[in-house]
Amino acid sequence: MLTLGSLGALLASDDGVWYACPPKIKAIYPIGSGDAFLGGLVQAWLNHSPESEALRQAVAAGSANTFSVGGGKFTHQEFESVLAKTTVKKLT
């Protein structure tokens, strides 16, 4: 796993390498976005999501975190909005 800040993140596994890209957003406060990313990743894994979907959810959570001051204060609606616009692709 490698986070790339506003550029998204990479995940490498036996199944391949995945790249998730968040939508362009106006970031207000990035503090805590790494923690939100990890929380999104763990939650997706606990729900048995495929690796690519877990990465997409992690990137969306990290991005949604930037909407307001104070880490982890984004709403489920904000997360879902970012998630809908977060893309993931398998790299060759």
Residues 67, 18: Cα–Cα separation, whole Å: 25
The mean per-residue pLDDT over the stretch 9-25 comes to: 95
How many whole angstroms separate alpha carbon 80 and alpha carbon 57? 9
Yes or no: say if 59 and 86 are a contact pair by the CB < 8 Å rule.
yes
Q: Does the CA dihedral 55-59-62-68 come out positive or negative?
A: negative
Cα separation, 83 vs 80, in Å, equals: 5
Number of domains in the chain: 1
Strands lying side by side in the sheet with 9-13: 2-3, 9-13, 16-21, 87-91
What confidence tens digit (pLDDT) does each residue in 36-45 have? 999 999 999 9
Residue ranges making up the domain that contains 19 = 2-91
- pLDDT tens sequence across 47-85: 999 999 999 999 999 999 999 888 888 999 999 999 999
Note the pTM of the prediction, 2 decimals: 0.94
